[in-house]
Amino acid sequence: MAEYINIKGQNIEVVASDPANPTVGQIWYNSTSNTLKGGGFQAAAWASGGNMGTGRYALGGAGTQTAGLGFGGYAPPPVSYSTLTEEYDGASWTSGGSMSNGRYILAGCGTQTAALGFGGTNDSSLFNYTEEYNGSSWTGGGPLNTARQGLAGAGTQTSALAFGGMNVQPVTLTGATEEYNGSTWATSPGSLNTVRYQLAGAGTQTAALGFGGTILPSPNTGATEEYDGTSWATSPGSLNTVRVSLGAAGIQTAALGFGGSPGTLTATEEYDGSIWTSTTSMSTGKNRSGGAGTSSSALAFGGSRSGVPSSNITEEWTGAAPLTVTITAS
């Protein structure tokens, strides 16, 4: 039988603890656990999470995969324009404090215990309302300068960004960008280059990402733009699947886009700061879902799916990554 040294040209390393960042194909013997181990690779995947208590679509999202927040949205009558808030702990959803104003097609950002919800509509009124969540209740914040629905958000409760969206009287789109300091919104001199609504947002106030959406009177767009705290620059990378009403997670240089319309899409894409790459699709196609987390650990919840206009389904995303495996005899 051929020996490892003759195959690979080196002996198997003996170590007391596993390497912190093993490379794929690397082999070592752990003398503490008396096991032969190697560097493997974990494929990206979506997995089912706990269902929301109330199914709804076009809701706001914030937080992480293990500390997520979903709020507002449109739920089946008699709820309709929802004020409901739910908190996710990585396994199940529980009820949180209700919003002051029921609305949908709003934007959100921040964390589970320091979130921000802003904009939106109840179909009879267009809102500039901002609400701040402290982990148990919502209180009013400074109003947006431009009331709108279908806008995107990024950042934190005290350093947020609002951009894009639609005015409804008359129906016009806006590329206006506003920055929030924890109490008031200030309009930025920078406006989106591709004016649109029902787009997705990710990142921070000074390093944000806007992508997808609908432009009028033309169709959906896959255009991607990056914000540096002053102005928007169009990225050479465009979504591979052009769509609207998609979910999002991550930061400007490591973002995730998933689901959306037309129809109820399952397509998932990763952005590395320059290009989008298609990756593992969602288990259930949906649009207008909430999103939270990072490009390697994201959460998708609620939305509309085929035959179910207000879904309560949750999916958890785990990105591709190296991993350590124990080698056993077959």
> Do 63 and 21 sit in the same domain of this protein?
no
Task: Give domain status of residue 329, yes or no.
Answer: no
Do 36 and 79 sit in the same domain of this protein?
A: no
Q: Which helix (H) or strand (E) holds 323?
A: strand 321-327
Query: What are the backbone angles phi and psi of residue 176, rounded to the nearest 5°?
Result: -55, 140
Same domain, 21 and 144: no
Considering the domain architecture, whether residues 94 and 23 belong to the same structural domain is answered as: no
**DSSP code string of 169-180:** TTEEE---EEEE
Q: Are 174 and 270 within one domain?
A: yes
Could you tell me if residue 330 is inside a domain? no
Residues 55 and 129 reside in one and the same domain: yes
CA distance 324 to 40: 6
Task: Tell me the average confidence (pLDDT) per consecutive run of 10 residues in the chain, 330 residues long.
Answer: 50 89 88 91 94 98 98 91 98 98 98 98 96 98 98 98 92 96 98 97 98 92 98 97 98 98 97 98 98 98 95 97 81
pLDDT of residue 7: 46
Instruction: Map tokens 């003996």 to a residue.
Output: 14
pLDDT, position 166? 97
In this structure, are 275 and 146 located in the same domain? yes
CATH number, domain at 56?
Answer: 2.120.10.80
Whether 24 and 96 share a structural domain: no
Q: Are 156 and 204 in contact (CB under 8 A)?
A: yes
| 241 and 174 in a common domain | yes
Look at the chain and report how many structural domains it folds into.
2
Residue 262, domain member (yes or no):
yes
Domain that holds residue 217: 45-318
In a domain? residue 323? no
Is residue 259 domain-shared with residue 287, that is, in the same domain?
yes
State whether 36 and 56 are in the same domain.
Answer: no
Domain membership of residue 324 (yes or no) is: no
The verdict on 25 and 94 lying in the same domain is no
